[in-house]
Amino acid sequence: MGKLFVISAPSGTGKTSLIQAILEDSAATNTKLGISCTTRKERPKEINGVSYFFITNEKFKDKIKNKELLEYAEVYGNLYGTPKDWVLSVLSKGENVLLELDTQGALQVKESFPESKTIFIIPPSYEDLAKRLELRAQDSNEEILRRLKEAKKEVNVGKDFDQIVVNNNFEETLNDLKQFIFRGLKPSTARQDAVNKSLNLLLD
C-alpha cells in the first residue's frame, strides 16, 4: 500500500516549485501528483483524466452526497475536489500520492483518511514572504496584503501538521521534503531549529 501526502503552504512560499522538483527526482518513479475533479470548463491543452477530471455540477454534487471525495471546495464559482476512488486505486498499487491543497483541504483529507501525512511549508518570515510576492509581480499591493493576512491564518492551522519545513533555502527544503516522503525521515536538528525559529516569528 502506498502513502498519501498532503502538502500545504501560504501563497508565495514556493510549494509548487518544490513539488515539481520532488516529482522530477529519480526516487519519485512510484509517486503521483493527485488529480482533482472540477466543474470548470476544460482549457486548451488540458486533458481529461490527466490535468483534471472534468465533470458536471450534478455529478460533483452526487459525489459529495455519496462521500466519494476526500475533500472539496468552491473556488471562484467552480467546484474542486479529490476523488477518493482514484487515490485508493493508486495507493493499492503501492504507489504514493501527493496532494497540493490549502490547509482546510488538508484537514478534510486528514479527517477522511487519518493515515495520510500532512506537510506544511513555511516562509522564514512574513517580510520574506512579502518580498517573494512582490518579486513575482503577479499581484497588486492590496492583493499582497490580503495574501499575507491569509498566510497568518494558514500558519495557525499548519503549525499542527505532521511535518513542518521552512523554505529558507530551496535545495535544503527540497532535501527535507524528499527525506520525509521517500525515506520517512525527519529533518536534521539544524533544520528543525530553523523551523522552530521561523515558526516563533510567524506566530508572534
> In terms of C-beta density within 10 A (0-12 exposed, 13-18 middle, 19 or more buried), how is residue 67 classed?
exposed
3-state secondary structure of 120: strand
3-state secondary structure of 187: coil
Q: Which domains, from first to last, does the chain contain?
A: 4-34+95-203 (3.40.50.300)
Length of the chain in residues, anyone? 204
Burial 112-139 (b: 16+ CB within 10 A, else e): ebeebbbbbbbbbbbebbbebbeeeeee
Using one digit for the tens of pLDDT, what is the confidence trace for 107-149?
999 999 999 999 999 999 999 999 989 887 777 888 889 999 9
> In terms of C-beta density within 10 A (0-12 exposed, 13-18 middle, 19 or more buried), how is residue 203 classed?
exposed
What pLDDT, on the 0 to 100 scale, is given for residue 135? 86
49, 86 in Cβ contact below 8 A? no
180, 187 in Cβ contact below 8 A? yes
Q: Which helix (H) or strand (E) holds 175?
A: helix 170-183
What pLDDT, on the 0 to 100 scale, is given for residue 67? 95
d(CA 100, CA 90): 16
Walk along the chain (204 residues) in steps of 10 and give the mean pLDDT of each run: 97 95 96 96 92 96 97 93 97 97 96 96 96 83 91 96 98 98 96 97 92
d(CA 124, CA 26): 28
Instruction: List the grid coordinates of 186.
Output: 525527519
Region at 33 (left for phi over 0; alpha for psi -120 to 50; beta for the rest)? beta
Q: Please state the separation of Cα 198 from the chain's center in Å.
A: 19
180, 163 in Cβ contact below 8 A? yes
Average pLDDT score over the chain = 95
Q: Which helix (H) or strand (E) holds 6?
A: strand 4-8
17, 111 in Cβ contact below 8 A? no
